[in-house]
Amino acid sequence: MSTATPVAPRPFDLLGAVAGTDHKSIARRVAVVSFGFFVLGGILALVMRAQLASPNARLVSTNTYDELFTMHGSTMIYLFVVPMALALGVYLVPLQVGASEVAAPRIALLGFWLFVSGGLTMYTGFLTTNGPGKAGWTAFDPLSDSPHAPGIGMDFWIFGVMLATLGCLLLGATILATIVAHRAPGMTMLRLAPFTWTMLVTCLMVLVAFPVLVVALGLLWVQRYFGGVFSTAGGPVAFQNLFWFYGHPVVYVMFFPFVGAVAEVVSVHSGRRFFGYKPFAISLLAFTALSTSVWAHHMFTTGQVANRYFALTSTALAVPGGIEYFDMIATLWGGSIRMRTAMLFALGFLVQFLVGGLTGIFLASPPLDYDVHATYFVVGHFHYTLLAGSLFGFFAGVYHWYPKFTGVLLSERIGRVHFVVMAIGANLTFFPQLILGYDGMRRRIANYPASNGWQTLNAISTVGSFVIAASVLVFLINVAVSRRAARPAGPDPWGGHTLEWATTSPPPRHNFATLPPIHSYAPLLDAREAVERDG
């Protein structure tokens, strides 16, 4: 199915870009905008790393530094990883369940616009007298209250996060409704693609956790202007409880879609049916159930929570997490593994996320957490999970599905360079941070004295962050080169398993002309095996 005609670029369609309700076009817009925020957030990080490259540096003022880390964290979480994860779902889930459309497409469109306006609102803070929000991405009360964070920039931050989160809530709701109500005939719940399973549990967590953040930030705004919400003795602890009730499930919202992407990449590119499908689904559900009862491990050092309960639930996460690793490795075992770029990123995800996961077990123990809480150990830990983990899973998915999204193939050679540069950069940046944190370096400090001996490790970390930036440039070059080369991908360049590969690339407006019969999660693999069996 490789005709020689190159794919013609589409003319730009303004009305479609504003109001188009095709789920693929909505998803593309969410993805493009959130990738733009990723680049912005990355630039903020580079300025911070430049400041921290040497002790007692004064590249930016402490005030600016506080704005930088607040906006970096807020951008990456509220405006990049969460919406990007959901964009993958909005694009792929209708295809994977054999639907012609996402459920409630106009709600999804509204979600996109709420997300965009949230991002713009948050960044408008840079134009105000007092600057944007600078109370951290967590905006703990009372630091975020009006006496300590005066100025309209903090309000812009609050409303920006509320709008973006509300937008993501709507996107998640449409994905969940698509899975529940729009499956093709024969597509039972136990025949959902692995990626769709991960989106299902992701959206469950979105529905449970996101409203809590929207309400908590609404209350925070009331507190800023009228008081009386968090002013009592237990108020600051109550805000932390509300925030982390959102804040921990969101960690898995930023993780599971990429686990799903890696699961698909691992099975398709080793030519093997996904191993342990049912245990995988059960482990996802177990993870989801636990996700709502681990939040207070962020609060061990408050002395105000039942540490043992939350240590128990948090450590128990090792069980479902371990099942997922088992199934991935068992899928590779006995396969015929093609080392394409997607597979490289998937393996990078598995190895590097493991560093994040194992350091997480440390943090789940209260006495160890007393030592390293809120240090660079934590910064290193969650960057290993988010950047070295989720972002690698994201790129595994990008290299896997880009041909489906655009109809053209990315360059494998540039892709391999992208992978190598990014893997070097990620480990150079974040491994030194684990050591620094263990040595007692706090997070959120604008500079550090020369006497601690932290200079070398910080300098290495800074170099690494610029290497990561270079790798993102390599990716953008790959996109540009592939656009020009326009090598047609055909409907199914990899020998895919799931329904999105049963239609053209990119799929037409209503996705499918005809659907193959669905007897398992892998209808296309079934069809190929039937051909082999029957000759």
Partner 1 sequence: MFAIVVGLLGFTVVRFRYRPGRAVSPRTQAPRAELAYVLGLAVVVGVLLSVSFPAESRVDRLAARPALRIVAVASDWRWRFDYPQQGVAEVAAPPAPTNLVVPVDETIEFDLQSTDVLHAFYIPERDFQRQAIPGITNRFDLVFTRVGTAGSGVCNEFCGLGHTEMRFQVHVLSAPAFAAWARARRQGTAAL
Q: What is the distance between the alpha carbons of residues 136 and 150, in angstroms, rounded to a whole number?
A: 14
Please pick, from the candidates 439, 463, 488, 516, the single residue that binds partner 1 as defined by CB under 8 A. Answer: 439
Please pick, from the candidates 126, 227, 302, 484, the single residue that binds partner 1 as defined by CB under 8 A. Answer: 302
Please pick, from the candidates 11, 228, 367, 535, the single residue that binds partner 1 as defined by CB under 8 A. Answer: 367
- Least separation, in Å, of the C-beta of 328 and partner 1? 9
- Span from 25-33, 193-201, 300-308, 504-512 in contact with partner 1 (CB under 8 A): 300-308
- Least separation, in Å, of the C-beta of 352 and partner 1? 10
User: Pattern of binders to partner 1 over 62-101, x per CB under 8 A?
Assistant: xx--x-----------------------------------
3-state secondary structure of 442: strand
Q: Which is nearer to partner 1, 112 or 300 (CB)?
A: 300
> How big is the CA angle at 19 (ends 76 and 87), to the nearest 5 degrees?
30
- Span from 252-260, 322-330, 390-398, 401-409 in contact with partner 1 (CB under 8 A): 322-330
- Span from 92-100, 156-164, 366-374, 408-416 in contact with partner 1 (CB under 8 A): 366-374
Q: How many residues bind partner 1 (CB under 8 A)?
A: 77
- Span from 172-180, 183-191, 372-380, 412-420 in contact with partner 1 (CB under 8 A): 372-380
Host H or E run for residue 155: helix 152-181
Residues 6+ apart with CB under 8 A from 23: 90, 91, 94, 101, 102, 105, 108
- Rounded to a whole number of angstroms, the CA Rg of the chain reads 23
* CA of residue 527 relative to chain centroid, distance: 33
- Span from 47-55, 162-170, 205-213, 306-314 in contact with partner 1 (CB under 8 A): 306-314
Q: Which amino acid is at 456?
A: T
Based on the shown chain and the rule CB under 8 A, indicate whether residue 413 belongs to the binding site for partner 1.
Answer: no
Per-residue buried b or exposed e for 391-423, using 16+ beta carbons within 10 Å of the residue's own CB: bbbbbbbbbbbbbbbbbbbbbeebbebbbebbb
* CA of residue 329 relative to chain centroid, distance: 22
Q: Which is nearer to partner 1, 173 or 372 (CB)?
A: 372
- Least separation, in Å, of the C-beta of 227 and partner 1? 14
Closest to 168 in 3D by CA, of 86, 284, 235, 99: 86
- Look-up: residue for tokens 């997070």? 443
User: Pattern of binders to partner 1 over 219-248, x per CB under 8 A?
Assistant: -------------xxxxxx-----------
Based on the shown chain and the rule CB under 8 A, indicate whether residue 273 belongs to the binding site for partner 1.
Answer: yes
Closest to 161 in 3D by CA, of 215, 200, 204: 215
Residues 332-361, interacting with partner 1 (CB under 8 A): 332-339, 347, 350-351, 354-355, 358, 361
- Least separation, in Å, of the C-beta of 332 and partner 1? 5
User: Pattern of binders to partner 1 over 130-169, x per CB under 8 A?
Assistant: -----xx---x-xx----x---------------------
Please pick, from the candidates 88, 99, 242, 311, the single residue that binds partner 1 as defined by CB under 8 A. Answer: 311
Please pick, from the candidates 177, 368, 459, 477, the single residue that binds partner 1 as defined by CB under 8 A. Answer: 368
* CA of residue 290 relative to chain centroid, distance: 19
SS (H, E, C) 390-437: HHHHHHHHHHHHHHHHHCECCCHHHHHHHHHHHHHHHHHHHHHHHHHH
Residues 159-218, interacting with partner 1 (CB under 8 A): none
- Least separation, in Å, of the C-beta of 113 and partner 1? 32
Q: What is the distance between the alpha carbons of residues 143 and 30, in angstroms, rounded to a whole number?
A: 32
Burial classification of residue 446, based on how many CB atoms lie within 10 Å of its CB (0-12 exposed, 13-18 middle, 19 or more buried): buried
Q: Which is nearer to partner 1, 338 or 413 (CB)?
A: 338
